[in-house]
């Protein structure tokens, strides 16, 4: 891997993701339905450079090839807003963390247990995502629990309880339920509402 611990999380995730893209090539699967690694790299380039996502723009980016796209990603994000201290990890760090896992999990790679720095960003992002999920399952509540004993409750008590490591919770709440290593328990109606 080409990263160091002194770099901000978003920069480390970016470079590690680029290494993985280089290793797997343009045609490897991802958890993003219908997308290969080439599609995902094009999406990341367009997203960071404020290009409205359209099919012609995606096609044009993909035509440049994976090496050109990873080179552009390795060059770093534009300063505004992606590198503003205090928001860079929540905005870009979360995006790269999720998409890194999209590629890893779709290619049979296990969760990373050697990166506690991921948990801090994932926990913050999961708590934000849980607010939206709790609104969708009203009148039921939602509780997040980590193996370390951290909990957050949204809405009425007695609802659904989603348990897992912060990265796993984030994956579940961002629509990667099949790949997330979580346990969902609680009121059957609340559980059913969250699963829909």
Check if the beta carbon of residue 72 is closer than 8 Å to that of residue 142. Answer: no
- Tens-place pLDDT, residues 57-87: 999 999 999 999 999 999 988 766 666 777 7
Quote the DSSP letter at residue 89. Answer: I
**pLDDT > 70: what percent of the chain?**
93
Q: Is the pTM of this model over 0.85?
A: yes
3-class secondary-structure state, position 28: coil
| Strands, E assignment, 47-169 | 142-145, 151-154, 160-163
pLDDT in tens, 43-53: 999 988 766 77
If you average pLDDT over residues 118-145, what whole number do you get? Answer: 95
- Is the pLDDT at 2 greater than 60, yes or no? no
What is the pLDDT, as a whole number, of residue 51?
A: 65
Q: Give the model confidence (pLDDT) of 14-38 as tens digits.
A: 999 999 999 999 999 999 999 999 9
pLDDT of residue 1: 46
Residue 141 has pLDDT above 50, yes or no: yes
């Amino acid at each position: 891997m080409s990263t160091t611990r002194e770099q901000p999380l978003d920069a480390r995730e970016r470079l590690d993701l680029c290494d993985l893209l280089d290793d797997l090539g343009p045609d490897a699967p991802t958890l993003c339905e219908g997308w290969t690694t080439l599609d995902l790299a094009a999406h990341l380039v367009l997203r960071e450079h404020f290009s409205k996502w359209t099919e012609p723009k995606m096609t044009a980016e993909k035509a440049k090839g994976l090496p050109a796209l990873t080179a552009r990603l390795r060059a770093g994000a534009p300063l505004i807003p992606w590198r503003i201290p205090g928001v860079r990890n929540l905005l870009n760090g979360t995006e790269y963390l999720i998409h890194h896992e999209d590629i890893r999990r779709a290619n049979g790679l296990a969760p990373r247990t050697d990166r506690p720095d991921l948990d801090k960003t994932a926990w913050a992002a999961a708590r934000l995502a849980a607010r939206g999920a709790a609104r969708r399952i009203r009148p039921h509540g939602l509780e997040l629990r980590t193996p370390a004993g951290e909990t957050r409750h949204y809405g009425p008590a007695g609802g659904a309880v989603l348990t897992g490591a912060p990265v796993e919770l984030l994956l579940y709440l961002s629509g990667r339920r099949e790949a997330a290593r979580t346990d969902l328990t609680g009121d059957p109606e609340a559980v059913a509402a969250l699963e829909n």
